[in-house]
Amino acid sequence: MRTLIVPIRTARLSLREFVKSDFQAVHDYSSDPRVTRYLFFGPRDEDATADYLDGLLASQRERPRTRFELAVEETASGRVIGACDLSFIESHAVDLGYMLGMENWGKGLATEIALALVDAAFYDLHAERVISTVDVNNSASIRVLEKIGMRWEAVFRKHRRAKNRWWDCHLFVLPREVWEATRMDYAP
């Protein structure tokens, strides 16, 4: 069984399992309409935040586990500042996502998170492909995906209906062989 080794540590962050006491931090960023602008959900009220947190805590006990949604904790302060995830969409394909509270935008943290998740997807989860879908208007996330080496593959027109509208989304992909070619320390 493939498993994600957590916490995943980066220079400034710890990507760890959520716990019940993370409620207020989760509510703080997921209730902000600026944070959820390009996401299919939100902004969340307290009940929706509680339901979301309960659902992801339950997903931690699933076997086999197909969804790894993690808290983004700032190492220096110990504060939860966002969330990120890797979710199996097929047996060897993993979807990558992330969100941060607005006060942490523009600091390179999303790129740091995404790089760590890509490595974990290939090392720990033995993925063959990492994908990410992003709203066509979300230029900041598009830049992050490009920076980490993901390549644009398609536009999904009317990809999903949420928040009373149809969403057009870009599909970005990173195949294992492209990732391996960029990793000098990779040992098959």
Total of domains in the chain? 1
Assigned domain for 3 exists: no
Assigned domain for 187 exists: no
Assigned domain for 1 exists: no
pLDDT tens for residues 63-73? 999 999 999 99
Give yes or no for a contact between 167 and 161, defined as CB atoms under 8 angstroms apart.
Answer: yes
Full-model pTM: 0.93
Which CATH number do you get for residue 28?
3.40.630.30
Give yes or no for a contact between 80 and 25, defined as CB atoms under 8 angstroms apart.
Answer: yes
* Full residue range of the structural domain in which residue 37 is found: 8-182
Please give the pLDDT value at position 1.
64
Q: Are strands 129-135 and 93-100 parallel, antiparallel or unpaired?
A: parallel
Please give the pLDDT value at position 13.
98
Assigned domain for 144 exists: yes
pLDDT band at 184 (very low <50, low <70, confident <90, very high): low
Assigned domain for 188 exists: no
Nearest partner of 109 among 131, 76, 134, judged by Cα: 76
Half-sphere exposure of 133 (CA within 13 A, CB side): 15
CA separation for the pair 168, 166 (Å, rounded): 7
Residue ranges of E strands in the chain:
8-9, 13-17, 67-74, 80-90, 93-100, 129-135, 151-162, 165-175
Structure tokens at 24: 């207020």
Structure tokens at 90: 């097929």
pLDDT tens for residues 154-163? 998 888 877 7
Please give the pLDDT value at position 164.
78
pLDDT band at 183 (very low <50, low <70, confident <90, very high): confident
Mean of the pLDDT values across residues 164-177?
A: 92
pLDDT tens for residues 101-140? 999 999 999 999 999 999 999 999 999 999 999 999 999 9
Assigned domain for 93 exists: yes
